[in-house]
Protein backbone atom coordinates (compact mmCIF):
# COMPACT_ATOMS: atom_id res chain seq x y z
CA UNK A 1 0.00 0.00 0.00
CA UNK A 2 1.13 3.53 -0.83
CA UNK A 3 -0.80 6.20 1.03
CA UNK A 4 0.22 9.83 0.61
CA UNK A 5 -2.57 11.52 2.56
CA UNK A 6 -3.03 10.84 6.29
CA UNK A 7 -3.33 12.87 9.49
CA UNK A 8 -1.80 12.68 12.96
CA UNK A 9 -2.73 14.50 16.15
CA UNK A 10 -0.73 17.47 14.89
CA UNK A 11 -3.99 18.37 13.15
CA UNK A 12 -7.25 16.44 13.55
CA UNK A 13 -5.96 12.86 13.53
CA UNK A 14 -6.09 10.58 16.56
CA UNK A 15 -2.56 9.16 16.67
CA UNK A 16 0.98 10.36 17.18
CA UNK A 17 3.14 9.76 14.09
CA UNK A 18 4.90 6.71 15.54
CA UNK A 19 1.65 4.86 16.23
CA UNK A 20 0.20 5.78 12.86
CA UNK A 21 3.42 4.51 11.25
CA UNK A 22 3.30 1.23 13.19
CA UNK A 23 -0.35 0.58 12.38
CA UNK A 24 0.37 1.26 8.71
CA UNK A 25 3.28 -1.18 8.91
CA UNK A 26 0.94 -3.91 10.11
CA UNK A 27 -1.35 -3.16 7.15
CA UNK A 28 1.54 -3.79 4.76
CA UNK A 29 2.30 -0.20 3.83
CA UNK A 30 5.48 0.58 1.90
CA UNK A 31 5.14 4.37 1.85
CA UNK A 32 3.18 6.52 4.28
CA UNK A 33 2.87 10.29 4.10
CA UNK A 34 1.55 12.30 7.03
CA UNK A 35 0.04 15.47 5.63
CA UNK A 36 -1.56 17.34 8.49
CA UNK A 37 -4.00 20.17 7.90
CA UNK A 38 -2.29 23.55 7.83
CA UNK A 39 -2.71 27.20 6.92
CA UNK A 40 -0.49 30.26 7.29
CA UNK A 41 -0.61 30.02 11.09
CA UNK A 42 0.94 26.59 11.60
CA UNK A 43 2.58 25.07 8.53
CA UNK A 44 6.14 25.73 9.71
CA UNK A 45 5.59 24.18 13.15
CA UNK A 46 3.73 21.16 11.82
CA UNK A 47 6.34 20.40 9.17
CA UNK A 48 9.16 20.64 11.72
CA UNK A 49 7.41 18.06 13.89
CA UNK A 50 6.63 15.70 11.04
CA UNK A 51 10.17 15.97 9.70
CA UNK A 52 11.47 14.98 13.14
CA UNK A 53 9.13 12.00 13.14
CA UNK A 54 10.38 10.88 9.74
CA UNK A 55 14.01 11.18 10.83
CA UNK A 56 13.34 9.03 13.89
CA UNK A 57 11.34 6.32 12.11
CA UNK A 58 13.06 5.94 8.74
CA UNK A 59 15.69 3.41 9.81
CA UNK A 60 15.42 0.91 6.96
CA UNK A 61 12.01 -0.61 7.66
CA UNK A 62 8.80 -0.12 5.72
CA UNK A 63 6.83 2.01 5.53
CA UNK A 64 9.03 4.91 4.53
CA UNK A 65 7.53 7.95 6.25
CA UNK A 66 7.23 11.09 4.13
CA UNK A 67 6.49 14.38 5.94
CA UNK A 68 4.04 16.61 4.12
CA UNK A 69 1.34 19.22 4.51
CA UNK A 70 -2.27 19.59 3.43
CA UNK A 71 -3.30 23.20 2.88
CA UNK A 72 -6.95 23.18 3.89
CA UNK A 73 -9.81 25.65 3.36
CA UNK A 74 -7.47 28.43 2.29
CA UNK A 75 -8.75 31.39 0.31
CA UNK A 76 -7.68 30.36 -3.21
CA UNK A 77 -5.40 33.37 -3.62
CA UNK A 78 -3.27 32.13 -0.69
CA UNK A 79 -2.56 28.68 -2.11
CA UNK A 80 0.28 29.60 -4.48
CA UNK A 81 2.22 31.91 -2.12
CA UNK A 82 1.93 29.55 0.85
CA UNK A 83 2.97 26.60 -1.30
CA UNK A 84 6.04 28.56 -2.39
CA UNK A 85 6.89 29.29 1.24
CA UNK A 86 6.51 25.62 2.10
CA UNK A 87 8.83 24.59 -0.73
CA UNK A 88 11.40 27.11 0.50
CA UNK A 89 11.14 25.44 3.91
CA UNK A 90 11.97 22.10 2.30
CA UNK A 91 8.53 20.47 2.31
CA UNK A 92 8.70 17.56 -0.17
CA UNK A 93 4.96 16.82 -0.40
CA UNK A 94 2.20 19.41 -0.67
CA UNK A 95 -1.44 18.35 -0.81
CA UNK A 96 -4.34 20.77 -1.24
CA UNK A 97 -7.79 20.03 0.16
CA UNK A 98 -9.89 20.09 -2.99
CA UNK A 99 -13.52 20.98 -3.63
CA UNK A 100 -15.02 17.88 -2.05
CA UNK A 101 -18.79 17.50 -2.26
CA UNK A 102 -19.22 17.35 1.53
CA UNK A 103 -17.45 20.47 2.81
CA UNK A 104 -17.75 24.22 2.05
CA UNK A 105 -14.41 24.55 0.25
CA UNK A 106 -14.11 27.89 -1.51
CA UNK A 107 -14.97 27.82 -5.23
CA UNK A 108 -11.83 28.19 -7.30
CA UNK A 109 -9.73 26.10 -4.92
CA UNK A 110 -9.17 23.31 -7.46
CA UNK A 111 -7.96 25.71 -10.15
CA UNK A 112 -5.74 27.70 -7.79
CA UNK A 113 -4.18 24.50 -6.45
CA UNK A 114 -3.43 23.12 -9.90
CA UNK A 115 -1.79 26.40 -10.87
CA UNK A 116 0.42 26.32 -7.74
CA UNK A 117 3.51 24.24 -6.94
CA UNK A 118 1.80 21.24 -5.36
CA UNK A 119 1.87 17.47 -5.75
CA UNK A 120 -1.64 16.17 -5.04
CA UNK A 121 -5.11 17.65 -5.31
CA UNK A 122 -7.14 15.72 -2.76
CA UNK A 123 -10.78 14.71 -3.29
CA UNK A 124 -11.40 17.35 -6.00
CA UNK A 125 -15.14 16.74 -6.27
CA UNK A 126 -16.75 17.85 -9.52
CA UNK A 127 -13.51 19.00 -11.07
CA UNK A 128 -13.78 20.22 -14.67
CA UNK A 129 -12.22 18.59 -17.70
CA UNK A 130 -10.14 21.75 -18.24
CA UNK A 131 -8.75 21.51 -14.70
CA UNK A 132 -7.98 17.83 -15.13
CA UNK A 133 -6.13 18.56 -18.37
CA UNK A 134 -4.12 21.28 -16.62
CA UNK A 135 -3.28 18.86 -13.80
CA UNK A 136 -1.92 16.44 -16.40
CA UNK A 137 0.20 19.19 -17.97
CA UNK A 138 1.61 20.20 -14.58
CA UNK A 139 2.20 16.66 -13.32
CA UNK A 140 -0.22 16.97 -10.42
CA UNK A 141 -1.91 13.82 -9.12
CA UNK A 142 -5.66 13.67 -8.58
CA UNK A 143 -6.89 11.67 -5.63
CA UNK A 144 -9.42 8.87 -5.47
CA UNK A 145 -10.40 8.96 -1.82
CA UNK A 146 -11.15 6.05 0.47
CA UNK A 147 -12.76 8.41 2.97
CA UNK A 148 -16.51 8.51 3.51
CA UNK A 149 -18.07 11.51 1.80
CA UNK A 150 -14.91 12.54 -0.01
CA UNK A 151 -15.26 9.39 -2.15
CA UNK A 152 -18.59 10.47 -3.64
CA UNK A 153 -17.03 11.94 -6.78
CA UNK A 154 -14.39 9.23 -7.32
CA UNK A 155 -16.10 7.97 -10.46
CA UNK A 156 -16.26 11.46 -11.98
CA UNK A 157 -12.60 12.15 -11.19
CA UNK A 158 -11.48 8.79 -12.58
CA UNK A 159 -13.49 9.15 -15.78
CA UNK A 160 -12.06 12.57 -16.61
CA UNK A 161 -8.53 11.56 -15.65
CA UNK A 162 -8.68 8.55 -17.96
CA UNK A 163 -10.07 10.72 -20.74
CA UNK A 164 -7.15 13.17 -20.71
CA UNK A 165 -4.38 11.00 -19.25
CA UNK A 166 -4.03 12.66 -15.84
CA UNK A 167 -2.32 10.79 -13.00
CA UNK A 168 -4.42 9.22 -10.25
CA UNK A 169 -3.70 7.70 -6.87
CA UNK A 170 -5.75 6.17 -4.06
CA UNK A 171 -5.31 7.70 -0.61
CA UNK A 172 -7.13 7.09 2.65
CA UNK A 173 -7.20 10.58 4.20
CA UNK A 174 -6.87 8.61 7.45
CA UNK A 175 -7.74 10.31 10.72
CA UNK A 176 -8.12 7.19 12.87
CA UNK A 177 -6.64 3.67 12.89
CA UNK A 178 -9.75 2.20 11.30
CA UNK A 179 -9.26 4.41 8.23
CA UNK A 180 -6.09 2.62 7.11
CA UNK A 181 -6.61 0.09 4.34
CA UNK A 182 -4.73 -2.70 2.59
CA UNK A 183 -3.47 -2.66 -0.97
CA UNK A 184 -6.29 -5.04 -1.91
CA UNK A 185 -8.88 -2.62 -0.55
CA UNK A 186 -7.26 0.25 -2.43
CA UNK A 187 -7.44 -1.73 -5.66
CA UNK A 188 -11.13 -2.38 -5.07
CA UNK A 189 -11.74 1.34 -4.57
CA UNK A 190 -10.00 2.06 -7.87
CA UNK A 191 -12.09 -0.62 -9.56
CA UNK A 192 -15.23 0.82 -8.03
CA UNK A 193 -14.34 4.20 -9.50
CA UNK A 194 -14.38 2.63 -12.95
CA UNK A 195 -10.74 1.70 -13.54
CA UNK A 196 -9.85 -1.56 -15.23
CA UNK A 197 -6.88 -3.77 -14.39
CA UNK A 198 -4.34 -2.06 -16.65
CA UNK A 199 -5.29 1.39 -15.37
CA UNK A 200 -5.08 0.19 -11.77
CA UNK A 201 -1.58 -1.18 -12.37
CA UNK A 202 -0.58 2.15 -13.89
CA UNK A 203 -2.08 4.03 -10.94
CA UNK A 204 -0.01 2.14 -8.38
CA UNK A 205 3.16 2.25 -10.48
CA UNK A 206 2.82 6.03 -10.81
CA UNK A 207 2.07 6.38 -7.09
CA UNK A 208 5.17 4.37 -6.20
CA UNK A 209 7.33 6.46 -8.53
CA UNK A 210 6.01 9.61 -6.86
CA UNK A 211 6.59 8.19 -3.38
CA UNK A 212 10.14 7.14 -4.22
CA UNK A 213 10.92 10.61 -5.57
CA UNK A 214 9.46 12.31 -2.51
CA UNK A 215 11.35 10.01 -0.16
CA UNK A 216 14.62 11.07 -1.74
CA UNK A 217 14.02 14.80 -1.21
The residue extents of the domains of the chain are 2-216
> What percent of the chain clears pLDDT 90, i.e. is strictly above it?
100
User: In terms of residues, how long is the chain?
Assistant: 217
Count of alpha carbons within 13 Å of 86, Cβ hemisphere only? 32
Q: Answer yes or no: is pLDDT of 33 > 90.
A: yes
pLDDT given at position 4: 98
- Which uninterrupted H or E stretch holds 39? none
pLDDT given at position 30: 97
Rg over alpha carbons for the chain, rounded to the nearest Å, is 16
Q: How far apart are CA 105 and CA 97, in angstroms?
A: 8
Average pLDDT taken over every residue of the chain: 98
pLDDT given at position 145: 98
pLDDT given at position 161: 98
103: pLDDT confidence band, cut at 50, 70 and 90?
very high
CATH fold of 2-216 reads: TIM Barrel (3.20.20)
Q: Answer yes or no: is pLDDT of 92 > 90.
A: yes
Angle (CA) 114 68 4, round 5°: 75
8-state DSSP, 10: T
DSSP helix/strand/coil, 79: helix
Q: Answer yes or no: is pLDDT of 217 > 90.
A: no
Q: How far apart are CA 132 and CA 10, in angstroms?
A: 31
Q: pTM for the complete prediction?
A: 0.98
Start-to-end Cα distance in the chain: 20
Amino acid sequence: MIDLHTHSLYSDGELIPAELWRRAQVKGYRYLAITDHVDASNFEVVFTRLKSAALSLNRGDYPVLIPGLEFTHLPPAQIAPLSAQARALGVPLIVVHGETLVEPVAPGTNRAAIEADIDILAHPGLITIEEVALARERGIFLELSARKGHCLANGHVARLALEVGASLLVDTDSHSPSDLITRQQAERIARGAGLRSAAIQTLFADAEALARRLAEL
